[in-house]
Amino acid sequence: MVNLLFNCTAPPNQNTLLMSTKSKVVEVVLFEVNPGYSEEEAKKALTSLNDIVKLYYGFLERTTASNGDGKFVDIIYWSDIKSAKDAASDIIKNEKAAAAFSIIKPESTQLYHFDAFNQFEE
């Protein structure tokens, strides 16, 4: 009961509830970094997108990972498919996002949206 009270008072986008209780859509983006960028430059640019993505309606959580060989995966959890697709359409118009996206090899990008149906945590 106390935990529920604290969750109700949290500011928007603080993701205080477990993803399994909120997430409906999982966005997966696979991509490679353009030659000439170091792993650290790529990580810094991709992390800068957090300040932009978190402002979109329906955003829940974001995880970005690298295999250490120039390949990356970006996993974003959304409350619904409309929010995910609206954000994907709008973010490409954002100047700050465009600067971060410049490190990405465009022809390598693969974007998918999945309906979440299971989340298991022990």
Name the fold adopted by 21-115.
Alpha-Beta Plaits (3.30.70)
pLDDT band at 9 (very low <50, low <70, confident <90, very high): very low
How far is it, in rounded angstroms, from Cα 75 to Cα 40?
19
pLDDT band at 22 (very low <50, low <70, confident <90, very high): low
Across 112-120, average pLDDT: 92
Which is higher by pLDDT, 61 or 8?
61
The answer, yes or no, to whether residue 90 has pLDDT greater than 50, is: yes
Across 72-101, average pLDDT: 96
Q: Which residues make Cβ contacts (< 8 Å) with residue 56, sequence separation at least 6?
A: 83, 86, 87, 90, 91
> Is the distance from CB of 64 to CB of 46 less than 8 angstroms?
yes
pLDDT band at 119 (very low <50, low <70, confident <90, very high): confident
> Is the distance from CB of 46 to CB of 37 less than 8 angstroms?
no
Domain boundaries, the chain: 21-115
How far is it, in rounded angstroms, from Cα 109 to Cα 32?
7
Which tokens sit at 30? 């696979």
Residue 110, pLDDT score: 98
Helices first, then strands: H and E counts in the chain: 6, 4
Instruction: Name the pTM for this structure.
Output: 0.79
Rg of the chain over all Cα atoms, to the nearest angstrom: 16
Question: Mean of the per-residue pLDDT values for the chain?
Answer: 85
Which is higher by pLDDT, 32 or 21?
32
